[in-house]
Structure 1
Amino acid sequence: MIADGLKLRGVVFDEDRTIAVCSHIARSWRTKSKALGGQISPEVIHLPCSIEYGSLDHVRYLLFIGWLSRSGKTADEVIESGARVAIREPWLLTHQGICDHSVAHYGSIMKFMVPYAETKNQRDLYLWWRECCETVERKPFNGDLRNVFLRHTSVISKDDRWRSRELIINDLCQLKGIAHKIAQLIAIWVQEVNWSKNAIKWNRIRKIPFIPVDLWCMRLVYMSGMVIGFNGDHRDRIGRLISDYLSKVCLEHDISHTDLAQGLWHIGARIHAKMPRNTKQTQYCHDRCPLHNYCTRIVNSDPVNRQRGLIGWHSAVPRSAYPYTTSIFTEPAGL
């Protein structure tokens, strides 16, 4: 059983359905089905022309926009802003550049760079990023974030990959301002780049599973019936559990974790987040969402739940009872 060895902490997964849904999402992203067609991830589309693809500056850029993503705005907003800063202030991406500039040079950059920075001490935020860059200069990074991945090139068995996953996450979490979710976000971005050196090693590294879990992902696993029982739905207590479980599913069943992670994010942020709250919703879901035939309930964004740190599982509405749904929903065969 996939759950063996994982501490589920009061969340019950339907394993067979999870395997089926994850396989479907990964395949949908890979084949660009429905509204996923033509979608390009923001970390790719906003890569500045001044940064050479596959270079050391590229991995510095991925760290930079990943570090910014710990704040509360959308990925598109944060990454687009981060890319503009990287173009205007390229010194911010390097430890030497930061050391060559005083806090006074920083000026109003932090307001532009970090969502809600106007409510925080700009100097403290600057020092957080500076400390992050200083840590990259030391072991195990040795000046290049990729080094923590290249230490794990002998991963052969699935057990090896799982151990490497934990070690890489722990290494990335040494960086100031980065925790479990952002560590995995940066990890899959790094895995998806076709680095010019060590191609064989990177092919092995790309088999190490990482699934960054955001609020939309937490909603989708419940909406699609992967989660069938829970004791409480506070996102800070459940996010890592979902990440570990989905990563294990990918590992055990040879599902592309990068395809799954990208599919989940795009379905949540680019499709469900824009779902109309009117009578056009049924047709919208049917035409655009790859998860339409797996969706059993609706978990809406709710400001009260967000303030309380809740996902919204407890207030989900069965799809058949939702005001704007009809009998167009059908259960997938065999589930």
Structure 2
Amino acid sequence: MNLLELQDLKTYFFTDEGVVKAVDGVSLSVGEREIVGVIGESGCGKSTMAHSLLRLIVPPGEVVQGSAVLSRKDGGTTDVFSLEPDSAELRSIRGNEISMIFQEPMTSFSPVHTIGFQISEMIGLHTDLKPAEIRDRVLELLARVGISSPEQRYDEYPHQLSGGMRQRAMIAMALGCKPRIVVADEPTTALDVTIQAQILELLKDLQEQEELSAIYITHNLGVVAEYVDRVYVMYLGRVVESASTEQLFEKPLHPYTQKLLRSVPRPGKRVDRLDVIEGSVPTPIGLPPQCGFVSRCPSALEGICDGAVPALTEVEEGHFVRCFLYDEQQEPKDDWADV
């Protein structure tokens, strides 16, 4: 059973320059105790998709289409997008059913309130615990995520903590009400490599202990390979490939996915220069109906890839790709085996 079914999400930003189609028809699902990864370059719509899920998009942005059916703790289901933005039911979902670990905790925590107060406030909103019980719960969470001297840290402000400790405190807040799904939006980007590894191991352990489901948003393929069960590759606001982690790394199909994997150093294989993806992600304003990757794709088919948007097609069981190279009318091109 899936805890979350996101279908055909479209989130647009209505600017003076035109309509920015940041997320343009994304569908994904999250099963029980499953870790789903979302990868892609900066600007591909990963974070916008996550913020849309929790209804955190503000004008000029707007969720213009889609559904997000969530399986609730009480056994019912709710389409998150059908709720009013300021409704009590939506507030009961944020932090309680779905929580989020933001990319930069320094800007996500209030600078004028202590860490303990902010985590306590969130727990108090969603539970009937008494103040003393809430404090005990916060101290337990801080200790559990590896923060030393939790009694002292409880009364400290965000700027008094190191980057790694702030991220741990953010994880403690996300787990405060025992949500069913945690969305981790590039949770280690601002940290050094050693602390990154510690945070990722902590997240993995907590996910197993709490039997959580999770969505990892990242551009770190190493994180995907080690911690994720199933992967969605995004490009220009769309999912261009989805598969199990094993399928994706064993046989990536989309030229964009292949390029991403070739850009990463591989143990035991010496190269003079890593492969790069020429160009950059186009600005999603007024784009013609064509494959979003066509301007950067070495395998583009003239008159086909630049003439329509390819559909997301199941090439093998559980492995979907949005590419004309795998259309039944075309001869599939796959040079991954030579790498």
Structure 1 or 2: larger helix share? Answer: 1
Is TM-score (shorter-chain normalized) higher than 0.5? Answer: no
TM-score calculated relative to the size of structure 2: 0.30
TM-score, normalised to structure 1, is: 0.30
In proportion to residue count, which structure has more strand?
Answer: 2
